Amino acid sequence: MRPLVGGSEPGLRAWGAILMWVSVALETDAAHADALSDALIAAGAISVSVEDALAGTENETPQFGEPGSPTTPLWDDSRVIALFEPGDNLMGQIADAAAAAGIDNLPAITLDEVAEQDWVRLTQSQFDPIRISDRLWIVPSWHTAPDPTAINLELDPGLAFGTGSHPTTRLCLEWVEREIRPGLSLLDYGCGSGILGIAALKLGGENVLGIDIDKAALTAATDNAARNHVKIRLAHSGDVLAETFDRVVANILTNPLMLLAPLLTSRLRPGGRLALSGVLESQSAQVIAAYAPYLPLTVGAVHEGWVRLEGTKGRLGAC
């Protein structure tokens, strides 16, 4: 990594002789991130992305279009990353883009070399089989199952969230593996890739329904279910939901989960069990309080700072 502050571009001529691309990262605020992205494309960038400059810290701010999420701008501390072909006037292009975006003082810039690679092989190397329990594994299609006698979910990384590698997905999979027995029904609200519903079906569950706000997620879940030789029912979150279920799981985000408390608990049969994740450990008290009028929740498990909240609906409950 080569950080630069305003104006000089040492070594770029040498880079141009040996590299395919240069990745340029600039930090700005929410008010300028979109305009800077457009200006960088206009200045010749091959691609541009925006990410949270505080990602990986306690101040990281998720940005997902989940139901109930407030409409917010980009991050106050945004990092704009542009991919350029190496050239003698790269810093001039960046300066012009910043000026066009209304940025008077050129922000600190980081340049990084991006060499040609076998991107497919590199991506595949980052995803190994994941052991959830002795009897449940997630296995990418290019791998051989480590334990052919286990329940192996074939799942590749794709557009929809939920490959088993995120702590919240693991927490929910562990709950599904523990809770689902033959004949039990499951509602997976915010199903993403369909991984939780697919696991439930392969564990013997019946009447499994996955719901998501994203049509691409529903398509991915359909494809993943077919790949795993199960048939999952799917619906959009805007559809009317009148059924009740033995088990309900939702792996979304704290604010949507709090807003969904009346809906999710009303879809749970008396004596049924609920699991929620997508909640940071520091946020668990908020969610527990939001669900208190409907059913009591407790922290069932913690993994890498994320929690799984669990509760059982009373047979004479008010929901």
> Which pLDDT score, from 0 to 100, does residue 262 have?
96
3-state secondary structure of 278: strand
Q: How far is it, in rounded angstroms, from Cα 148 to Cα 15? A: 48
Least confident of 104-118, 135-149, 150-164, 191-205: 150-164
Nearest in space to 44 (alpha carbons), one of 85, 7, 103, 3 = 85
Does residue 12 have a pLDDT over 90? Answer: no
> Which pLDDT score, from 0 to 100, does residue 159 have?
45
Q: How far is it, in rounded angstroms, from Cα 128 to Cα 136? A: 14
Cβ proximity of 52 and 61 under 8 Å: yes
Q: How far is it, in rounded angstroms, from Cα 18 to Cα 270? A: 66
Residue 129 phi, psi (nearest 5): -55, 145
Output the average pLDDT for the chain.
82
- What six digits make up the tokens of 62? 């998720």
Q: How far is it, in rounded angstroms, from Cα 267 to Cα 101? A: 48
Q: Average the pLDDT over 288-294 and give the result.
A: 97
For residue 130, the Cα-to-chain-centroid distance in whole angstroms is 17
Q: pTM to 2 decimals?
A: 0.63
Q: Between 259 and 7, where is the model more confident?
A: 259
Place 161 in a pLDDT band, splitting at 50, 70 and 90: low
Q: Average the pLDDT over 257-274 and give the result.
A: 96
Give how far Cα 37 sits from Cα of 32, 78, 159, Å. 9, 11, 22
Q: Average the pLDDT over 281-298 and give the result.
A: 96
> Which pLDDT score, from 0 to 100, does residue 318 have?
42
Q: How far is it, in rounded angstroms, from Cα 252 to Cα 229? A: 26
Enumerate the domain spans of the chain. Answer: 2-116, 122-312
Report the share of the chain in percent with pLDDT over 90: 44
Question: How many Cα atoms within 13 Å fall on the side-chain side of residue 211?
Answer: 23
Does residue 162 have a pLDDT over 50? Answer: yes
In this structure, whether the domain defined by 122-312 belongs to CATH 3.40.50.150 is answered with yes
Q: Under CATH, which number does the domain 2-116 receive?
A: 3.30.70.120
Least confident of 9-23, 55-69, 103-117: 9-23
**Which residues make beta-bridge pairs with 308?**
301
Does residue 69 have a pLDDT over 60? Answer: no
Q: Average the pLDDT over 143-150 and give the result.
A: 82
Place 158 in a pLDDT band, splitting at 50, 70 and 90: low
- Which amino acid appears at position 108 of this protein? A
Place 269 in a pLDDT band, splitting at 50, 70 and 90: very high
> Which pLDDT score, from 0 to 100, does residue 141 have?
77
Residue 278 phi, psi (nearest 5): 90, 15
- Dihedral of CA atoms 202, 203, 209, 214 in degrees, nearest 10, equals -60
> Which pLDDT score, from 0 to 100, does residue 145 have?
80
Place 14 in a pLDDT band, splitting at 50, 70 and 90: very low
Of the segments 27-36, 177-186, 233-242, which one has the largest average pLDDT value?
Answer: 177-186
Non-local CB neighbours of 257 within 8 Å, separated by 6+ positions: 250, 264, 276, 278, 279, 287, 290
3-state secondary structure of 60: coil
Least confident of 79-88, 89-98, 179-188, 192-201: 79-88
Element (H, E) at 209: strand 208-212
Q: How far is it, in rounded angstroms, from Cα 284 to Cα 277? A: 9
